[in-house]
Structure 1
């Protein structure tokens, strides 16, 4: 529990530092440099690399959409309910639902404008900070990864499952910057607060489960 709380505190501190630096304009040079580094040197309006890299980025970014993550969460919730794994179902509902609400609230509160250096490679309807795709993919991916890893006994398999969850979240977040719809610090902030929320929800449900077991 102490290690978990320390991790949550560190992730939240990173998010608050990023937010403060961004609001003061201190991240602008970094954001612009990274964003332009991912564009063609001959034509900044075009993403760097061959045409299929942009296609892959669009496919990856779709995996972090509210629609896809909601469907995945609902499907997993139904599976846990059928198995009568109520703690897992509650954790998933709390983590995904709370993450979505938090993402919307933070975007509305901070209200950062989307990047204007390059054309957007995807439709955008909300504010930029933090990245909802990065945040929610971290929340849902880490929660589901931890729940699945918990059900297997092989430690190597546990590590593999969590590594896949983390890698997928990283790829989804990176695709948002590559497509020019987010500043890099939007994505870093999304990863930080998303991972912190997933860990906090996990610790809360685990504490309640242990307390119930002790009382029983």
Structure 2
């Protein structure tokens, strides 16, 4: 498989299944946001997953949680995005590089907007919690990497979709665990962040491909 700008950010075989996943994920984000709008306490699902009296995570797992949390902070996230973009460019996948930046930015931006709209808080009225931006970021980055790997490995629809969803699940579960373990978010916040990335990144990849295809078509010489 040769590199070049014509290679899509979203493999054609994954457009339909990931499109369906994106729609379902958007519905989950909307339902949870509606249920917990304006709340400042854990819901029934949150209490079922984590006891309100549970202590914050301690050794040996606390350093792991803190490291993951740092990777979702501005300094850590910029570092990770920079590394992934560099890998995409080295592999001559410019669309994947654009998707990494645009997908993460739009996903986190959507999270910021949703926090204002939903107004759910934790540990005080100024700490908006739904959905989890850290979980959104880490899942979005995982999705970008998984789409790149799917293209590089030449995977078909079933294998490619499975890989993308497994990577998204692992990334979201890891960061979601860290945020809940540190007491920064409710479990449903993490679920909302995971679904936000699943809704935004495939749509962003499709838009990147559409825009790139138009630019490439405009740059081709007219046939004589």
Fold shared per TM-score above 0.5: yes
Which is further off, 171-180 or 83-92? 83-92
Shift of 1:30: 2.2
Aligned to 2:75: 67
Q: Residue in 1 aligned with 2:173?
A: 170
Q: 1:46 aligns with which of 49, 55, 58?
A: 55
Superposed CA deviations along residues 93-115 of structure 1, whole A, max 9, x for unmatched, are 21122122222222233222115
Between the aligned partners of 1:19 and 1:146, the Cα distance in structure 2 is 28
- Other-structure match for 2:141: 140
In the alignment, the residues of structure 2 paired with residue 177 and residue 161 of structure 1 have an alpha-carbon distance, to the nearest angstrom, of 24
Deviates more, 1:60-69 or 1:147-156: 147-156
For residues 170 and 207 of structure 2, what CA distance do their matches in structure 1 show? Answer: 25
2-structure distance, mates of 1:168, 1:149? 16
Name the structure 1 match of 2:8: none
Partner of 1:204: 207
Residue number in structure 1 paired with 2:194: 191
Do structure 1's residue 55 and structure 2's residue 69 form an aligned pair? Answer: no
Q: Which TM-score applies when normalising by structure 2?
A: 0.73
1:12 aligns with 2:26: yes
Return the alpha-carbon distance in structure 1 between the equivalents of residues 16 and 150 of structure 2: 21
Matches within 5 A, 1:26-105: 28-36=43-51, 44=53, 46-47=55-56, 51-81=59-89, 84-105=92-113
Per-residue deviation, 1:129: 0.8
Aligned match of 2:184 in 176, 181, 186? Answer: 181
Q: Shift of the alpha carbon at 1:212? A: 6.4
Deviation per CA, 1:58-113: give whole Å up to 9, x if none: 22333333322221112332443455532222212211221222222222332221
Secondary structure of the corresponding residue to residue 181 of structure 1? coil
Verify the 8 A CA contact 1:99 1:194 in the aligned structure 2: yes
Is the contact between residue 149 and residue 162 of structure 1 (CA under 8 Å) also seen in structure 2?
no
Unaligned runs of 5+ in 1: 38-43, 117-124
Unpaired runs of 5+ residues, structure 2, are 1-14
What are the Cα deviations for residues 154-183 of structure 1, in whole angstroms up to 9, with x where unaligned? 779966686345313211111211221111
CA spacing shift, 1:102–1:61, aligned 2, 3 Å: same
- For residues 147 and 126 of structure 1, do their structure 2 counterparts lie closer, same or farther at Cα, with a shift above 3 Å needed? farther
